[in-house]
Structure 1
Amino acid sequence: MSSKDEKNLTQVTDKISAMDEPRRSTMQRVHDVIMTAAPALKPRIWYGMPAYAASASAPALITLRNDERINLALTEKAPFRAAGGVDGQLMPAAWYLEDLDDATETRVAEIVRSVVG
């Protein structure tokens, strides 16, 4: 891991550590799921919140926001495809959560893996 990658990872973990419970624990779990599902992604701060990119200098592909709910979102740089079915041409790009159970953890990992291929 390069020194820039280490610095970025530290900034992300510091940002998560500064959050109040129970959000801190949930955000840490989401971060861990992302890093396990796509270990090649590089954590970084993007617009003040944790994000994950293909490299330290590339635009973020996935962001985490700590607003009224935790928001896992794909940026416009992530590969998108139309959802089809009842969602037609809409492209899923954001998911809100308040906690992380096993099923949600599995779905987050699937979403992350879909971004990195």
Structure 2
Amino acid sequence: MSSKDEKNLTQVVDKIAKMDEPRRSTMQRVHDVITAAAPTLKPRIWYGMPAYAMSASTPALITLRNDERLNLAITEKAAFRAAGGVDGQLMPAAWYFETVDDATEKRIAEIVRSVVD
């Protein structure tokens, strides 16, 4: 891991550590899921949010927000595929959550892998 990647990872971990409980634990769990599901993604801060990109110098593909609700989002920089079916041309791009159970963890991992595959 390069020194830039290490610095960026530290910034993301610090950002999560500054959150109040129980959100801190939830966001840490989501961070762990993202880094395990797509180890090639590099954590970084993107517009003040924990985010994940292909490199330290490329735009973020996935962001985590800690606003009124917790949010996992795919940025416009990710390759979008139309959802098809009843959703037509719409592409799901954001998911809100308050807690993470095993099923939600599995779905987050699927979403993250779909961005990097």
In which range does the TM-score fall when normalised by the shorter chain?
over 0.9
Q: Which residue of 2 aligns with 1:30?
A: 30
CA distance in 1, matches of 2:41, 2:89: 28
2:103 alignment partner in structure 1: 103
Query: Which residue identity does 1:107 align to in structure 2?
Result: R
- Normalising by structure 1, we get a TM-score of 0.99
Paired letter, 2:111: I
Shift of 1:68: 1.0
Q: Give the whole-Å Cα distance in 1 for the aligned partners of 2:69 and 2:109.
A: 19
Who is 1:39 aligned against?
A: 39
2:54 corresponding residue in structure 1 = 54
**What root-mean-square deviation, in Å, do the aligned CA atoms of Structure 1 and Structure 2 show?**
0.4
Q: Distance in 2 between matches of 1:38 and 1:109?
A: 8
Q: Does 1:76 align with 2:73?
A: no
Counterpart residue identity of residue 112, structure 2: V
Distance 1:99 1:79 in 2: 27
Mean Cα deviation higher: 82-91 or 56-65: 82-91
The TM-score with structure 2 as length reference comes to: 0.99
Gaps spanning 5+ residues in structure 2: where?
none
Aligned-residue offset at 1:45: 0.2
% identity of equivalent residues? 85
TM-fit CA distance, 1:85: 1.3
Runs of 4+ off more than 4 Å: none
- The code of the aligned residue for 2:44 comes to R
